[in-house]
Amino acid sequence: MIDMRMKSRYLVKDLYTADPSAHVFEEKLFIYPSHDIESGVPENDNGDHFNMRDYHAYSMDDINGEITDHGVILDVDDVPWASRQMWDSDVACKDGKYYLYFSAKDKNDVFHLGVAVSDTPEGPFKAQTHPMMGSYSIDPCVYENEGEGHYIFFGGIWGGQLQRYRDNNAIECGAEPADIEDALCPKVARLSDDMLEFAEAPKDLLIYNENGELLRAGDHDRRFFEASWLHQYKGKYYFSYSTGNTHKLCYAISDNLYGPYTYQGVILTPVVGWTIHHSICEFKGKWYLFHHDSVPSGGKTWLRSMKVQELEYTEDGKIMTMDGMG
């Protein structure tokens, strides 16, 4: 059942913003979105029309208060290895330094994950000279497992290129598995102590259905497509993601960070626009879903606007489904 009480609101009116990653740093809410622009690249299944070139950082003292735009925190021209398409990003903090993880294409049009570093959460960030070694695909999300270390989750199929890899190696003519085969998995890896590289080879994050079977590639309503996010609630790990071509935001739960996870249901039903992407963050005792849609641009898929709405759990820890059109 969809909870119609929960209304969302747009956060920024003067720029198009998407893929919001929200965190509490220095007692403020910081949001790191993609910055959508009208670049004139025609729309295709490869996502070439998402032709972004920089990132802004935003902060809020209060969820209902003013939002501050801290300006450009990283531009593609300041990333030595990148050529175009600055897609989804996330930020983590360790020992007073801030690390921006981002997806971008290299000079050969291959997606990798990059890291840029700053002394403050509002940036600007200085990029490393090379992408993270062994990184591929898109949509990094970094989660600090309290007292234990930081972990990166990533991956995205179709334009996000995950289908071009198996066992962390590029393959010839990469394609999605057949419908009856196991779906491609999002990836998880522990980060190195300096936060700049993988500390281990990325592992598959397995998502099972209610019968204990891996989700199949043909299960488009539930299989992973892109937009990884991890949060913890009442001792359980919640991995949430987009189903891409069926336009849903779903989640799965595990007792362990590495999984295996069990599929639970839909967080957000389809929004206006092709992509659905999000983050989940607790701020001042309440939980919020940050996401985007294309309503303000009149439905242009590549010009999205970020939003926030309160997220609610049932007594037994299920996330109440929200209406993407609400």
Which sequence positions are flagged as catalytic?
19, 226
Q: Point out which residues bind ligand FUB (CB under 6 A).
A: 18-19, 34, 50, 87-88, 103, 138-139, 156, 226-227, 275, 277
The torsion defined by the Cα of 263, 266, 272 and 273, in degrees rounded to 10, comes to -10
- What minimum distance in Å lies between the beta carbon of 34 and ligand FUB? 4
By beta-carbon proximity to ligand FUB, the closer residue of 120 and 246 is 246
CA dist 197 and 135 (Å) reads 9
In whole angstroms, give the CA distance from residue 21 to residue 53. 17
- Nearer residue to ligand FUB within complex by CB, 88 or 293: 88
Q: How far is the CB of 210 from ligand FUB (least distance, A)?
A: 26
Cα→Cα distances 269→168, 249, 286, 323, Å: 32, 7, 21, 5
In whole angstroms, how close is the CB of 305 to ligand FUB at the nearest point?
13
Contacts of 162 (CB under 8 A, 6+ apart): 136, 137, 138, 155, 156, 184
3-state SS class at 103 = strand
Exposed, middle or buried, 89 (CB in 10 Å: 0-12/13-18/19+)? buried
Token pair in block for residue 204:
């598959």
CB of 306 to ligand FUB, least distance (A): 11
Nearer to ligand FUB by Cβ, of 49 and 150: the residue is 49
Q: Closest distance between ligand FUB and the C-beta of residue 133, in Å? A: 21
Residue closer to ligand FUB (CB basis): 263 or 302: 302
275: helix, strand or coil: coil
What's the Cα-to-Cα distance from 275 to each of 82, 255, 289, 303, rounded to whole Å? Answer: 23, 29, 15, 11
- Report the residue number, 113 or 227, with the smaller CB distance to ligand FUB: 227
Is residue 17 a contact partner of residue 86, using CB atoms and an 8 Å limit? Answer: no
Least distance from C-beta 90 to ligand FUB, angstroms? 11
Give long-range contacts, CB 8 A cutoff, 24+ apart: 92-95: 92/23, 92/142, 92/144, 92/150, 92/195, 93/23, 93/25, 93/121, 94/144, 94/150, 94/195
Nearer to ligand FUB, 19 or 122 (CB): 19
Return the number of the residue (227 or 250) whose C-beta is nearest ligand FUB: 227
Measure the CA angle with vertex 325, ends 324 and 326; round to 5°: 90
In the complex, minimum distance from the CB of residue 227 to ligand FUB, in angstroms, rounded to a whole number: 4
Q: How many CA atoms lie within 13 A of 134 on its CB side?
A: 16
Cα-based distances in Å from 160 to 36, 99, 246:
17, 22, 16
